[in-house]
A and B are shown apart, each in its own frame.
Chain A
């Protein structure tokens, strides 16, 4: 069964600190993996996308990594800001199909 699991479920960090969010998936075959940011009460917004041949992708202070062999991805946030407080969702698209599979998300709280 195709699944996407994220950890931790929630995380609290101090402003200015770094953090890493994890995503493990069992989707096969695999087309691409995206990380979305969802502010409370809003729709998700795409941060990064990686295909199976890519192992890192950056978007400002956000850096995503992908290990297609172990089926793991991580999202690293550098020098966190209060505005980084949100849910971060890992989304995997199977190869040959378009029904994307969403992880439950990691809820990040950045404290001053």
Chain B
């Protein structure tokens, strides 16, 4: 059963805490992405990775960190430096990042700061 999974589905964080969102894919895709979605706004790119052991900042990387140690995994850490982290986080992957190949999205993680 191929696809992209995210966990947890819901996550609650106290102010000052770091939390890590999981993203795993078994589609053999090279490129993976993290987006943030806020009500009434389009998806905004946080970080992306075109290949293992390499990643680049997106448009809103401040307060976030990632790693890409395995092709299948691209975890996102929301640090205490992110001042407004409450949002819906989406992970995506694609087989062809250079020509706008279809991005396959995970089910998302809803993060709420208490």
Contacts and interface: CB of A to CB of B under 8 A. Distances in A.
Interface of A: 4, 9, 31-32, 34, 41-46, 49, 89, 93, 98-105
Nearest to A93: B100
Given A31-B99, A46-B102, A98-B97, A41 B43 contact: no
Interface residues of B, number: 26
Contact of A49 (B4, B102, B107): B102
B17 interface: no
A41 B108 CA distance: 7
Given A43-B90, A104-B41, A98 B99 contact: yes
Contacts of A43: 4, 90, 92, 105-108
A63 to B, nearest CB: 19
B82 to A, nearest CB: 20
Contacts of B97: 98
A42 B99 contact: no
Contacts of B108: 41-43
16 contacts: A9-B40, A31-B100, A32-B99, A34-B100, A41-B108, A43-B90, A43-B106, A43-B107, A44-B90, A45-B105, A46-B102, A46-B103, A93-B99, A99-B45, A102-B35, A104-B41
